[in-house]
Amino acid sequence: MPWQEVSALSLKYEFVTFAQQEGCNISQLCKSYNISRKTGYKLLNRFNELGAEGLLDLSRRPHHSPLKSPETIETAIVALREKHPAWGGRKLKSRLETLGHKDVPTASTITEILRRKGLLDPEESLKHTAFISFEHPEPNDLWQMDFKGHFATRQGRCHPLTVLDDHSRFSITLKACADEKTGTVQSALINSFRRYGLPRRMTMDNGSPWGNDQFNDLTPLTAWLIRLGIRVSHSRPYHPQTQGKDERFHRTLKAEAITGQEFDDLLHCQRTFDQFRETYNLERPHESLGMKAPVTRYRPSERSYPETLPAIEYGPDDQVRKVQSEGEVTFKGKLFRVSKALRGYPIALRPTKIDGTYSVVFCNQTLKEISLGGAED
């Protein structure tokens, strides 16, 4: 299958960036991008020889680079700012240096140039304050998932689904959805899993479709994720900062791709999202990453997406019970609630170090503990 039309150039850039990382499995990477090893190595060689121009089709390659024209650096600063109105001096400086410009002034000088040119909003600049946040040590240790607040198009409403890698801030998924239903999310995630593999853990808030009191914090969607071997966790109620990186991504998405725009339909939204995601992942300097783009810190997971769900198996010492229609199991003559989302699935009851207390395990995730001292309410 050829390069997808979403943005062939950005996919090629993703590929060669990942391919140059230490320990990369080129065969697996080619498979996830639906290209042959021959095509992959050819593309990598062209990139190493010619740089970004090597990613273009030969017939479309420009005969000269506009970046090497004798434009003044101030003109280049203004042009880049007009292309990315939300970028400040530090991001502009880093991106201009990445693009090969020489004698780029300091970030403070760039800020003064923007102010002199009338391109700086004093009130807006006050909003951008640095903060320190925890990050996981490796890519794919944790993905944060959420829906950004939906907004109107001429044909209905758009519900942006976002998935962000915690370590690299790489945007895994940015999908313009018609709703927030399980099937819609699952379809978008499958596409991302096929491209980037499976994370070790995913975290999300307590809203639908990944959190629901009716299912005791499990839903059909989170049950499916657990079956894939992905640990699932939820942010604390009323504490959105647990999803801080994805929330910050939402603010960037709103500022740089949604505010001031009028959208015809979901297809129009998706085209805009794809362009934003390409810029965000491959070009936009990130202050928390030392002014590097997220693609420089990300690599696809070594855990491939299984097209067929693995069988559910437990150890020989586990007590296995099938979850009943109301989400309950009977164990040692007592009835215990588990989750309606697990109706029909086998779960394991595993003794803990406390007498009469058992862990309730689904696949490889411990859901809760129960005590034989009495059934739960």
CB 132 within 8 A of CB 245: no
In sequence order, which residues have a C-beta less than 8 Å from that of residue 217 and are 6 or more positions away? Answer: 206, 211, 234, 339
The encoded tokens of residue 40 equal 């992959």
CA 237 to chain centre: 22
Can you give the pLDDT at residue 231?
A: 94
- SS3 of the chain: helix, strand, coil, percent, to 5: 40, 20, 45
CA atoms within 13 Å, Cβ hemisphere of 362:
27
Per-residue confidence (pLDDT) for residue 60, from 0 to 100: 47
- d(C-alpha 184, C-alpha 76), whole Å: 42
CA 89 and chain centroid, separation: 26
| Least confident stretch, 105-119, 289-303, 310-324 | 105-119
| Strand ranges across the sheet with 319-322 | 319-322, 346-351, 357-362, 365-371
What is the average pLDDT score of the chain? 84
Q: What pTM did the predictor assign? A: 0.75
DSSP assignment of 287-309, as one string? GGGTSB-GGGT----SSPPPSSP
| pLDDT at site 242 | 57
What per-residue confidence (pLDDT) applies to 104?
Answer: 84
d(CA 177, CA 189): 12
For residue 364, give every residue at least 6 positions away whose Cβ sits within 8 Å of its Cβ, in sequence order, or none: 226, 229, 231
Q: For residue 203, what are the β-bridge partners?
A: 144, 233
pLDDT recorded at residue 96 = 82
Nearest to 232 by CA among 243, 217, 222, 245: 222
Q: Is pLDDT above 80 for 287?
A: yes
Chain segment 71-111, per-residue pLDDT in tens:
578 888 888 887 787 788 778 888 888 887 877 888 778 88
Q: What is the pLDDT of residue 235?
A: 74
Residue 237: the pLDDT is 54
Residue that wins the pLDDT comparison between 42 and 8: 42
pLDDT band at 6 (very low <50, low <70, confident <90, very high): low
**pLDDT score of 213:** 54
| pLDDT confidence band for 365 (50 / 70 / 90) | very high
Mean pLDDT computed over 331-353: 93
Specify the pLDDT at position 65: 47
Q: Answer whether 360's CB lies under 8 Å from 368's CB.
A: yes
pLDDT at 63 over 50: no
- pLDDT of 5 over the 60 cut: no
Please state, for a pLDDT cut of 90, what percent of the chain lies above it.
Answer: 50
Rounded mean pLDDT of 138-164? 95
Query: pLDDT (tens digit, 9 = 90+) per residue, 181-236?
Result: 999 999 999 999 999 999 999 999 877 788 765 555 789 999 999 999 999 988 76
From residue 134, give the alpha-carbon distance in Å to each of 129, 171, 243. Answer: 17, 18, 11
Tens digits of residue pLDDT in 107-135: 778 887 887 777 765 544 444 444 445 66
Tell me which of 55-64, 272-281, 358-367 is least confident.
Answer: 55-64
pLDDT score of 283 more than 80: yes
Mean pLDDT to the nearest integer, 333-358: 93
pLDDT for the residue numbered 120: 67
Q: What is the pLDDT of residues 22-44, one digit of tens each?
A: 888 888 899 888 899 999 898 88
Whole-number pLDDT of residue 73: 83
- Give the pLDDT of residue 360: 95
Q: Is the pLDDT of residue 160 over 60?
A: yes
Angular region, 209: left φ>0, alpha ψ -120 to 50, beta rest: alpha
